[in-house]
Amino acid sequence: MCKKPTLDEVEELFNFLQGQDFKSITKIDKPNLTADQAFSVIYVLQEGLGIIPDTYEKCSKCDTLFDSDSGGDNSESLIDVFIEAYGEDNNVKIPDKLWDTIRHKKGLPFEHYCEGCRDTNASILQDKVNSIIEKELSDYPKKTEGEQDDR
Ligand SMILES: [Zn+2]
């Protein structure tokens, strides 16, 4: 068995795929991928081949790699933010149609943020949720304490 590559090593691979030298290996034809393409290669090595630990993520905001295993859960989805704002099994029943809408917008997939970008993460997603709600869902009541209108 070969050892699992460290985050630093994967970072070097990530940079190599974008046109930089990999260690002392210089006399080869270097690829010149975008950050997204480079991470697709890494993703295949993670999910397809199991060579790279799948906790290594690319930050959705600044494109740096980080280990999501250290420093807590750094991923968040629209659905999470939505649940936080509207409650899951609160007194407000969220209509199926509304869930559909949220899920389909999820092409805004799960987003992952490094430690440094973590703070802006919630507000970015919150903005997306707000704009969806403003556009399409303004007729659904927001989570409220106390009284409920059944009409
Ligand atoms: Zn970042």
Centre of ligand 1 from the C-alpha of residue 45, in Å: 22
HEC-encoded secondary structure of 4-32 = CCCHHHHHHHHHHCCCCCECCECCCCCCC
Residue 127 sits in the same domain as residue 85? yes
Centre of ligand 1 from the C-alpha of residue 6, in Å: 19
Domains held by the chain: number: 2
What pLDDT score does 43 carry? 95
pTM score above 0.75: no
Domain membership of residue 1 (yes or no) is: no
Domain membership of residue 66 (yes or no) is: no
Residue 40 sits in the same domain as residue 90? no
With CA atoms as reference, report the closest residue to 137 among 104, 108, 111, 90. 104
Centre of ligand 1 from the C-alpha of residue 114, in Å: 4
pLDDT along the chain (151 residues), means of 10: 85 96 89 95 95 89 84 61 64 61 56 71 68 63 52 50
Centre of ligand 1 from the C-alpha of residue 54, in Å: 18
Centre of ligand 1 from the C-alpha of residue 121, in Å: 9
